[in-house]
Chain A
Amino acid sequence: MTKVALFVTCIVDMLFPDVGEAALDILEGQGISVEFPEAQTCCGQPAFNAGFQADARPVAEHFLDVFGGYDAIVTPSGSCASMVRHYYPELFKGHARQAEAEAVAARTWELTQYLVDVLGVSRLGTSLRKPTRAAIHDACHGYRALGIGRQPRLLLSHVGNLSLVELPGHDQCCGFGGLFAIKMGQISAAMLNDKLANIQATDCDIIITGDASCAMHMNGGLSRSRSTKRVVHVAEVLAGRLT
């Protein structure tokens, strides 16, 4: 039997536990017995993206230790999945654990990608409590590095009480970029303003995205500008857990 692990990501674990619970509900709803390895922490992306590879590598090794024994590692984040899939082979190039890193990379999946591309699921049978109009923001790393776009749309198209509308600039970065939002705060904020203008111009109740970090960033801007709209994680919608 396939051994499936949930890598919930550090940000979901510490800031958005609802997203983790939704992801777990969805996977368990597919009859999968999902394990949550207790020793999991972070994939190492913050240090890697800042250029601190010497600090990122031990954290990535810890990830290999924790998740090496699973057939599938599923995560509700396109960004963290792309860190493992795309950059672990690079980070461990010429390193003793290169082959292991490549193997783990190939077994790591973003949630909607795992559901659609691996399990072949398209209909989760969930429904929202009230009729909701939603627009999709394609978070950058999942969209460009992993080619995720079709999968969430397919799954969302079968969620009850949900109608999808187009977001202008749906694939335009919200300006989060991890430490970029701090190191280049002004530019990040300007990019967020562009994103918020597109959100405000869209006739929708919620915006759905695949990364909790991008949702946090956009929500930070929406709440500062006293908007009633909010950004939710795709897992929360797919699990029908929106309040």
Chain B
Amino acid sequence: MKDQRDRFFHSVTIALNDIQLQTALDRGTTRGVNARIAAMGETTDAAALRHQARLARERALNRLPDLLEQLERNVIANGGHVLWARDAAELNAIVLDLCRKHDVRRVTKGKSMVTEESGLNHALEAQGIEINESDLGEYIIQLAGETPSHIVFPMLHKTKEATAQLLHEKLGMPMTDRPEEMTRFVRRVMRQKYLEADMGISGVNFAIAETGTIATVENEGNNRLSTSAPRVYVAVMGIEKVIATWEDYAVLVQLLARSATGQRLSVYNNLISGPRRPDEPDGPEVFYLVIMDNGRSGILGTAYAESLACIRCGACLNACPVYQNIGGHAYGWVYPGPIGSIVSPLLLGPTNAPRLPYASSLCGACQAACPVEINIPDMLLMLRRDLVQAGDPTLGWRVGMRVWRQAMLSPTLYRAGGWLAALVTQMLAGGDGKIESLPPPLNAWTESRDFPPFARESFRERLKRRRRERHESHPA
């Protein structure tokens, strides 16, 4: 546990001192926040829309087992296959089996956080299967040998300058600082990959139970190509992605676009209901839907269930002043930002991500940005409570809290404590009335900020004097 703690703080130190990262974060999150605010501002009643979306997600989560079974029935009726993965390892094993079964050598993949969760790329590569990311950002991350740092903008941690350098070094692209030129260059490389691929894999934004339809949302067309050009298509989703109806889809899909990228709708809204039919000119020969649990069913029915309502728009990341400063990688796992600070401890076990629930000032910007009204601050508080109950805090913190509690329960002790604090801090304060250095752990404050001394005369003492003086000047 000590290691986990140190690892988080170590990552934070690196992130805060990485000038390239700070530039990228500043540009990326500012753009994300402004785009969302503008797009949500266009709606006639943003609050009502968000509430509708929340209800749509609740309807799904409240009937999750039923909806998943309905989804399965309808996917099969549409000519597809449904496979269930209990955990990440099972998901990878299932996809590997499918690769073997269909003699797959090359895979092209659209964006999928679930496959990040399972480490699918490594699992396939280890078996000699070539897998290429087709989302521009994911592709660049793959080239760089990195992991996504944002749910929607995987390469948010990279400036366009650093990206140009990477493409120049790895693929021989002529140097440019124009994103359009970089995109055009990568597009040529990527087109070939689609045509060569035997299998396409994509994530799922929503799975509509009533018709067994897979909905994906994208802006590059890569997902559409990945899921229709290769002969085998595998869609991968977490169990929480199912929704009940098309009406719910209509609400959620526009909120996803507005919240994630500030668009009214994404450029491509793909709806896939099964493999190619005899009368259709294109599409995959076979279609598999793999549905992964990986700990989610254990969250359902608990106080943390609303975290499963998340539609992975990334709005809370952009809005979070902590994420804005440390970026995604410091969070240490697939899901960064405020929602990651909830999801990671829940899926990995609280003691495997013990710092994340504390990596928040509880400012509430995440909740205000969330299109499905997830109360992230309250869940962070609950996770902190769980950590305390699990005995996570050090003895120093536990003793400190007990002392504080005793002092706050006794007005006499409280006053004595205040008097003592005033005595000590007035001594520590310089002539200008500020404290520039305090002993640990309070040095975490004074390393970058001054601290004021406690008042020589507290409010209550001053009030007593004030009332006494008044009384003396106006005797009854």
Residues of A in contact with B (beta carbons under 8 Å apart): 8, 10, 12-17, 20-21, 24, 36, 38-42, 44, 46-55, 58-59, 62, 90, 140-141, 144-145, 171-173, 175-178, 180-192, 194, 216-217, 219-221, 223-224
Contacts and interface: CB of A to CB of B under 8 A. Distances in A.
A13 B449 contact: no
Contact of A187 (B326, B411, B442, B458): B326
Contacts, number: 185
B361 A173 contact: yes
B63 interface: no
Given A17-B458, A17-B462, A52 B401 contact: yes
Interface of B: 9, 12-13, 16, 321-322, 324-326, 357-365, 367-368, 378, 381, 383-388, 393, 397, 401-402, 404-405, 407-409, 411, 414, 418, 421-422, 434, 436, 441-442, 444-445, 447-452, 454-455, 457-460, 462-463, 466
15 contacts: A17-B459, A17-B462, A20-B463, A48-B381, A51-B384, A52-B393, A54-B388, A59-B408, A144-B365, A145-B364, A185-B445, A186-B444, A187-B322, A187-B326, A216-B452
Nearest to A86: B378
Contacts of A21: 459, 462-463, 466
A228 B409 CA distance: 39
Nearest to B456: A17
Contacts of A175: 321, 361
A191 B359 CA distance: 12
B450 A223 contact: yes
A13 B458 contact: yes
A55 B361 CA distance: 20
Given A187-B322, A190-B16, A192-B449, A38 B411 contact: yes
Contacts of A141: 362, 364
A36 B441 CA distance: 34
B411 A39 contact: yes
B422 A14 contact: yes
A185 B411 contact: no
A24 B326 CA distance: 42
Given A17-B455, A50-B384, A186-B9, A38 B460 contact: yes
A170 to B, nearest CB: 12
Contact of B397 (A50, A181, A185, A223): A50
B459 A12 contact: yes
Q: Which 10 A-B pairs have the closest CB atoms?
A: A177-B361, A51-B384, A185-B444, A220-B449, A173-B363, A20-B459, A144-B364, A17-B459, A189-B448, A140-B363
A42 to B, nearest CB: 5
Contacts of B359: 184, 187
A140 B364 contact: yes
A144 B15 CA distance: 28
B342 to A, nearest CB: 14
B445 A182 contact: yes
Given A186-B9, A188-B361, 19 more contacts: A14-B459, A17-B462, A36-B460, A44-B408, A47-B401, A47-B404, A50-B401, A54-B388, A59-B409, A140-B362, A140-B363, A141-B364, A144-B363, A175-B361, A176-B361, A180-B362, A182-B441, A186-B16, A189-B448
